[in-house]
Amino acid sequence: MQELLLTAARETIETELREAANLAERLNNDFIQACLLIQACRGKVIVSGIGKSGHIGRKIAATLASTGTPAFYVHPAEALHGDLGMITAGDVVILISSSGHAAEFRLIVPLLKALPVGIIAFTGNPHSPLGEAADYCINIHANKEACPLGLAPTSSAVNTLIMGDAMAVALMRARNFSEHDFARSHPAGSLGTRLLCRVGDIMRNAEKIPCVSDRATVTDALFELTRTGLGLVAITNADNKLKGVFTDGDLRRWLMKGGVITAAVQDAMTVPGFTLSAGQLAAEAQALFQQYKISAAPVVTEDGTLSGAINAHDIREAGI
């Protein structure tokens, strides 16, 4: 039984890979024109398919939407019962049917042409009613399904998925879609956090900022270090302008050279000290911490006013 299972799995993979390898040679002018049609579209891209084609269609729509092409999926049956109202003139519709004979599309296509909208067919039969009715036909034909009965969409489903990815990636490159663009549609992911989160979004504010006056003593700064646990204290003047920073390292160096804790903190602080701005990316701040081998920094405005503080732990907690 174990050998039977492994043999069936290997044959499935080999068949699907063999069929997928034939796709590249089917990329023709219809593929180019379909991409140009989508690129020029000022509306939406609607993907539709039934059965396994519908499941693949949902994935294609999701990939397009996350890579710069506004897109969503509509079920053909639901389209015939009201959801066609989601489609308006100027949209582009991708209809998926391996056979090209889906009954629902025979009813839908004339309605789409009357709007009008651009129609792209993903089908394994370019000479089918769907293939001939579409403006552009993308050939996803599979000579052999991996299913031993030749019935379950396997190779053809993989071909559809691959061709959808090929179209999405081609459009990404044509639009110069960047990782920053990708992050805007994935704000909750790790990439979105890294590319969108700024120092001002996660820095410590108000009473959480470790800060003492430039008239304070080393003792005062020591208490503030202990209170906040940030690893540094910002030293400011009466106008809340940053004058310097006092860190755990400054304290150790001060004591080692014989300094007393009753001395003025100005004598022991680092001037001017490393600072960040609220508008900097948190990922950039993390890189700077590593570069300069520091673990915390005050955040200041352009005129040097103290506005916050942040350390490496805060950045890690934000998921960066």
Q: Which helix (H) or strand (E) holds 7?
A: helix 2-21
Which tokens in the block code for residue 204?
């410590």
> Angle at the Cα of 311 (from 308 to 316), degrees rounded to 5?
120
**DSSP-assigned letter for residue 297:** E
Q: Sheet with 211-213: list strands edge to edge.
A: 211-213, 232-236, 242-247
Q: Is 75 annotated as contributing to ligand binding?
A: yes
What is the location of CATH 3.10.580.10 in the chain?
A: 199-317
State the amino acid at position 313 in one-letter form.
Answer: H
Answer for the pair 55, 81: CB distance below 8 angstroms, yes or no.
no
Cα 95 to Cα 91: distance, rounded to the nearest angstrom: 13
Model pLDDT, residue 319: 79
Tell me the sheet residues that pair with 247. Answer: 232
What is the location of CATH 3.40.50.10490 in the chain?
A: 2-177
Q: Which CATH number fits domain 2-177: 3.40.50.10490, 3.40.50.2000, 3.40.1010.20, 3.20.20.190?
A: 3.40.50.10490
Which tokens in the block code for residue 134?
């579409």
Secondary structure of residue 221 in the 3-state scheme: helix
**DSSP-assigned letter for residue 115:** T
Answer for the pair 126, 139: CB distance below 8 angstroms, yes or no.
yes
Cα 33 to Cα 7: distance, rounded to the nearest angstrom: 41
pTM of the predicted protein model: 0.68
Cis peptide before 126 (omega within 30 of 0): no
Cα torsion through 177, 183, 189, 191, rounded to 10: 80
| Highest CATH level, class, for 199-317 | alpha beta
Cα 54 to Cα 61: distance, rounded to the nearest angstrom: 10
Answer for the pair 165, 64: CB distance below 8 angstroms, yes or no.
no
Cα 97 to Cα 121: distance, rounded to the nearest angstrom: 8
Residue-wise pLDDT tens digits, 44-59: 999 999 999 999 999 9
User: In the chain, how long is the greatest CA-to-CA distance?
Assistant: 91
Cα 55 to Cα 176: distance, rounded to the nearest angstrom: 28
User: Closest Cα partner for 187 from 177, 197, 178?
Assistant: 197
Q: Which helix (H) or strand (E) holds 236?
A: strand 232-236
Residue-wise pLDDT tens digits, 237-254: 999 999 999 988 889 999
Residues of the chain with pLDDT under 50: none
